[in-house]
Amino acid sequence: MKVAKDLVAASATPMVLGILAEQDSYGYAILRRINELSGGELDWTEGLLYPLLHRLERLGHVESSWQSVAGERRRKYYRITRGGLAELAEQRRQWDAVVGALQEVWPRPGDSRPFTTFPQGGFA
């Protein structure tokens, strides 16, 4: 099963901000972390990640800095800002509302409530 593209796109911002809230990171590591967190079911591309990171930087949610690693290689590290943390909190509230509503409407495994019974009233 792969998660649909729209859903990946919708969850992209809180996902990246959340990962950066754990610790500063860089593109490839962020992508690997997402893969790890989702068990490979979230299909992210570089075309989604890097423009998103640049947009978050433009909006002031993250900051970046170049650091040298292993010889001549330069790596661009991203760090979440205070504005980014606030944005993350806001996104989280919205996602909690969505997830909460979905959990209300979907029967959990082991839930005895069958689909077909209606609360009082019925068709009488």
Stretch that binds other proteins, among 16-24, 44-52, 86-94, 112-120 (CB under 8 A): 44-52
Name the minimum Å distance from CB 18 to other proteins: 20
Q: Which of 28/97 has CB closer to other proteins? A: 28
Distance of CA 93 to the CA centre of its chain: 13
CB of 119 to other proteins, least distance (A): 41
- Strands of the sheet with 25-26, listed across from one edge: 25-26, 74-80, 62-68
Instruction: Give the Cα separation of 103 and 110 in Å (integer).
Output: 14
Among the listed residues 37, 59, 86, 99, the single contact to other proteins using CB under 8 A: 59
Q: Quick one: tokens of 71?
A: 């010889």
In terms of DSSP bridges, do strands 25-26 and 74-80 run parallel, antiparallel, or are they unpaired? antiparallel
Give the footprint of other proteins on this chain (CB under 8 A): 26-29, 31, 45-48, 50-52, 54-55, 57-60, 66, 73-76, 83
